[in-house]
Amino acid sequence: MFDHFYHQIFRKTVIAFGTLFNGITIHRDGAAANDPSAIIKVPLAYGPTQKFLARIEQQPDLNKPVSMSLPRMSFEFTGIEYDTSRKLGATQTFTTAIKTDKKDVRKIYMPVPYNMTFELNIMTLLNDDALQIVEQILPYFQPNYTVTIDLVESIGEKKDIPITLENVGFEDNYEGDYTERRVLLYTLNFTAKTYLFGPVPVAPKDLIKKVSVGITPGERSAAYGSGRQITYATPVATKNYTGDVIANLAEDVLAGATIIPVDDPAGLSELTFIDVNNETMYIESITGNKLNVKRASYNTTAIEHVRGSDVKGITSLDNALVEAGDDFGFSGT
C-alpha cells in the first residue's frame, strides 16, 4: 500500500511562498543618488523570528554598511491542516498523460486538499522602513493572491494555489535605556491552499476488457467440452475522445458522399478512422486533399457536414480513454 513516492509538494509550496517576497526594496529619502544605502534590497531568509532577534542582540555590530542586520525579513512554515471544505470523493479519479510521452495515459486518484500556514516577519530599525515593506505587500492580498505551481512534474499537473493573508500583527521591542537596540516587528500570517497527490500508477499492461465465448454447432452436445471457442479482444475506440483536430472539411459534404475534401491532409493516413461530428469514417485511400472513405462506420449515422467541420483522428491515445460501457469497436461476432 505505502510504496515510496515523493512529489516535493510541500517543498515547492514553501519555495513559491518565499519567492513572493524575495525582491522587496526600500528607498531612503534625502540620500545622494550615488549613495549605496539609498536603495536597499531587504534580505529574506527561512527561519524563526527568535533566531534573528537573538543574533541582533548578541552581535550589535552587525549594523554596519558592509553587513546590515536591519531591515530584514524571515518566513517560516508553521503548520498543516486537512481542509474539509475542499474535500473530494475518495474514489474519484481523473485521466492524464505522462508529460514525456503523451500517449502514455494513467488514471490517478483526485488530490487531497491541505492548508499550509506560514508566518512572515518584517524586522526594521526605522518605522518608515517597516511601512515601506508592508505597503509593498498588503495591496496584493485582497485577501488572496494566487500562484501557479507544478505540483506533479511527471504528469504536468499544475494547480493555482491561493495564498490568503489571515492577519497582520505589530510589535515594538524598545525596552531598556537608550543604549538598547530598537526592533520594529511586523508579523503577517498566511494560509496556502495546496493539494497532495498520491503515487502515479505504473504503466498499465494490456488488459482483457472483453471476452466472447462461443460453441461450435457440432459440439453443442459436448456441453462445454472441446468445442468451446474463446476470443479475446483489446479495447479499440469507436470515436474521438481526445478532441484533437487534425484537419477541417474544405467543402460541404452530403450524407451519401464517399469523397471527402479537407483543407490539409498532412496529418491523416490511409486505413485509419476519423470522427466528423460524431460520424465515424474509415479512410480507404487519400488522393491530394480528397479522402476516399467508408461512411457510417461502427454503427454511426451518415449525415450531412458543412464546410469547416472538424476532422478528428481516432488513434491509440483514444483507445486508452475508452469509456465504461463502450463496445470497444467489436460487434461480438
How far apart CA 119 and CA 18 sit, in angstroms, is 10
**266-301 exposure pattern, b = at least 16 Cβ within 10 A, e = fewer:** eebeeeebbbbeebbbbbeebeeeebebebebbebe
Reference 111, options 2, 203, 14, 7; nearest CA is 7
| CA triple 301-302-304, angle to 5 deg | 130
The answer to whether 186 and 110 have CB atoms below 8 angstroms apart is: no
pTM value is 0.55
Domains of the chain, start order = 9-196 (3.30.2000.40), 235-319 (2.40.30)
Give tens-digit pLDDT for 159-203: 899 999 999 998 886 655 555 556 789 999 999 999 998 888 776
At residue 283, the 3 state secondary structure works out as strand
Task: With H, G, I as helix, E, B as strand and everything else as coil, classify residue 122.
Answer: strand
Q: Write the pLDDT tens digit of every residue in 103-140.
A: 666 777 788 999 999 999 998 888 889 999 999 999 99
Q: List pLDDT tens digits, range 316-327.
A: 888 777 755 544
Q: Are 120 and 191 in contact (CB under 8 A)?
A: no
